[in-house]
A and B are shown apart, each in its own frame.
Chain A
Amino acid sequence: MDYTHLPRKIQNPYWGNNEKTQVICEFNYEGGPVVTAAVSDTNDGNPDWKEIFNIWTSEQLDELTEKALREDHVQSKKIQELKKDDIERMKVDALFSAKLDAFEIDEIKNSKNRAFKSKIRKAKTLLEVTAYASALIMLENAE
């Protein structure tokens, strides 16, 4: 669908480079899409560039750029936190799965050695689970 003939508004502009020769903004077409555009001036004079500076001053664009950078920073921090949470959750899940598996082993499940069973449940790493589980199996088999 050709939408370029539709009336449009320019919104959310910010500087696209340090030299301030490019502005990133959105063209919001009435009844059509919102398109992100990079606008620069040309030798003949770009009407979009003129339109932007009819609405906003260079100082206002400075402020909007600061705001966009701050929002971007917050967003990437959130994504990093979520990734960290996912990794942490996967580790916790793997540890708990290992404990469940250990308690499916007859020697452990039926053991009366409460202290060792507690150590397996309280283990903080997979290595601890494996070590205490192996030790308990050996103890049970030795009896």
Chain B
Amino acid sequence: MQNKGFVYVASKYYEFIQAARYSATSLKDFWPDSNITLFTHKEWISDDDTNIFDCIVTDEVPNHKRAKLWALDKTPYELTCYIDCDTHIEHEDIQKIFEQYDIDSDITITKARRYAASIESKFKGGELTDHCGLFIYNNKLHTLNFMKQWWLLYCKQDEHKWNWDTDLYPEYLRKWDMWTYWWLQNKTEHKIKRSYFSNPDARWNFVYVYDKKELNGTEAVIHHQPVPRRS
């Protein structure tokens, strides 16, 4: 098992494998020795992909919009940086990303911005505070179990097999994996210890609608922008 590496997951829409290549190429540009694992579908793999990705996993990868959650507990690394496909690397400080991980925690994550969220992140029962598009996590058993529970609960959520008090937690949360994460972290025994990227954390996950002021005069390392779907 290698120590540290990045995990990309591309499933359901072909645009995601294109985006994963785009992002991973930028990662290799700024950190040629980085370890990258891709979870995707066999039929989407091209010959060149082995030049970008060090490890490609296709066995049993579900054709699912949140295959990401399925893949998380199957990381080959002791310390993993999960990164959404719809990102690219812009700065050589990417080589320092694992220094952001707080060893006293299980997961290090960036904060979500309410003003930049696709939905109202604050509701009667709480607030979605963590951005689940990029995070670093360890491979301790309880952490990997959390990732597994995240996938299992999201499936129930998506299939309407898990319902909640919509007075406290609005129904519009159903499609979001951030909601599943919030629930597991705040309402279950599966919760893991969380820490945040150091300020300005936005430079490690700069979503395209963020205010530039969030960077505090620094340069963004990772840029995050949704993949347009053509199908």
Interface size on B, residues (CB 8 A): 19
Please report which residues of chain B, range 183-228, place their CB below 8 angstroms from some CB of chain A when the two chains form the complex. Answer: 208, 223, 225, 227-228
Cβ contact within 8 Å between B29 and A114: yes
Q: Which of B88, B208, B228, B230 contacts A121 (CB 8 A)?
A: B88
Contact with A along B122-134 (1 / 0, CB 8 A): 0000000000000
Please name the residue on chain A nearest to B88 by beta carbon: A121
Any B CB within 8 A of the CB of A122: yes
- Give the contact stretch, choosing among B15-23, B35-43, B142-150, B161-169: B15-23
Contact B90 A97 (CB under 8 A): no
CB <8 Å contact, B225 and A121: no
Q: Which of B15, B30, B90, B223 contacts A100 (CB 8 A)?
A: B15
Complex contacts, B227 vs chain A, CB 8 Å: 96, 100
B21–A118 contact, CB under 8 A? no
Tally of contacts, chain A with chain B, CB under 8 A: 40
Segment touching B, from A21-29, A72-80, A103-111: A103-111
**Are A92 and B208 in contact (CB-based, < 8 A)?**
yes
**Chain A interface SS verdict (over half):** helix
Q: In A92-137, which residues have CB < 8 Å from any B CB?
A: 92-94, 96-97, 99-100, 103-104, 109-110, 114, 117-118, 121-122
**B28 shortest CB reach to chain A, Å:** 10
Which residues of B are found within 8 Å of A94, using beta-carbon distances? Answer: 228
Q: Does B26 contact A (CB under 8 A)?
A: yes
Scan A76-89; emit 1 where CB is below 8 A from any B CB, else 0.
00000000000000
Given the contacts A114-B30, A121-B90, A104 and B18 also touching, CB distance less than 8 Å: yes
Q: Which of A97, A104, A109, A122 contacts B228 (CB 8 A)?
A: A97
A109 partner, pick from B30, B48, B208, beta carbons under 8 A: B48
B residues neighboring A (CB under 8 Å) = 15, 18-19, 21-22, 25-26, 29-30, 48, 51, 88, 90, 208, 223, 225, 227-228, 230
